Every structure is written in structure tokens, then in C-alpha cells.
Amino acid sequence: MAKGLIWATAEDLARNRGKVLSLYRQILRSINSPKLELSLAARLAKKAEVRSIFMLAAEERSLHNIADLIDTAHYSLSLLRNGQIPKYIQ
């Protein structure tokens, strides 16, 4: 993410696309983990919430905000893998 100074260029967005999609899929898979004691309805609700967060973030054009979103996704994924639900999707 070095082409644009503040706002993301098309190259910046294309470079991050694979990483963001991978994180999105990993988070959705982690919600299905047996470590999380959630009912089916709760799992579906959490997945819908994750989808809405990522759809809203898809409109983001600030390089700093994109980097923060990726960092937050990594942190949330680490919590999910440990059997905890991140605060922003509780």
C-alpha cells in the first residue's frame, strides 16, 4: 500500500483484494468452530454480521483505514481460533 499517499489507488485495492477475501473466508469458517458454543441461529446471525461489516468496509478508500481493517480481521481471527467471540461481533 505505497502508491497512494492517503487514498487507495486501483493498484492498492487490487493488491489487498486477495488478502481481504482470504480473511473473510477464514472468519466465516472459524464461526463454525465447535470451540464456540453457539446455536445454529446465533452462528447464522454472526455470519450475517461479518458479511455486513465486510460489505461496508468494501467501500473504504483510505489506506490507513484499510490497514486497520486488515489488522482488526487478523486479531478477530486469532480470538475466534481460541474459542472467543470478538467484541465487535458479540
pLDDT digit string, tens, across residues 1-28: 455 567 777 787 788 888 888 999 999 9
Q: How far is CA 64 from CA 3, 10, 69, 80, in A?
A: 13, 15, 9, 24
Instruction: At 73, list the grid cell.
Output: 480481521
Q: Does 5 reside within a domain?
A: no
- pLDDT digit string, tens, across residues 15-72: 888 888 899 999 999 999 888 889 999 999 999 999 998 888 888 888 888 888 899 8
Neighbours of 67 (CB within 10 A): 12
Its pTM stands at 0.81
Which residues span the domain enclosing 63? 10-82
Neighbours of 78 (CB within 10 A): 12
Mean pLDDT of the chain: 85
Q: Does 4 reside within a domain?
A: no
In the chain, how many domains are there? 1
Q: Does 24 reside within a domain?
A: yes
Q: Does 60 reside within a domain?
A: yes
Q: Does 87 reside within a domain?
A: no
Q: Does 59 reside within a domain?
A: yes
Q: Does 2 reside within a domain?
A: no
